[in-house]
Amino acid sequence: MHGGGDAGELDTLLARLAALRTEEGTADRPFEVHVISHDAYTVDGVRRLADKGVTDLIVGFRMPYIKGPDTEPLSEKIEHLERFAESVISKVTP
């Protein structure tokens, strides 16, 4: 799992992971790579991440480090998800 950060760092981590899996003889086994990335919010970004071997993307629509209650109404949360589904998910899902 990569929790955001520099894209170059992700490439380094994925290469190291691939090397370790090869070394351990597990490279042919199914393996999930979960990533938080700004690339997850665009179709091209999702495709770039998939090409690198990322299997799952974690997205959010509010700053996760804000302390206190979440005051955004449910209707706005649903709007964010619907927009994301229309603009990204529907274009990268087979």
Residue 84's CB is within 10 A of a number of other CB atoms, namely 15
Residues 59 and 61: their CA atoms lie apart, in Å, by: 7
Residue 49 pLDDT: 94
Residue 1 has which token pair? 């799992």
Q: For residue 58, list its beta bridge partners.
A: 36
Q: Residues 44-70: pLDDT tens digits?
A: 999 999 999 999 999 988 877 788 888
Residue 7 pLDDT: 77
- Residue 73: band (very low, low, confident or very high) from pLDDT cuts 50, 70, 90: very high
Average pLDDT, rounded, for the chain: 90
How many Å is the maximal CA-CA distance in the chain? 49
Q: Residues 21-33: pLDDT tens digits?
A: 999 999 999 999 9
Residue appearing with tokens 């071997």? 53
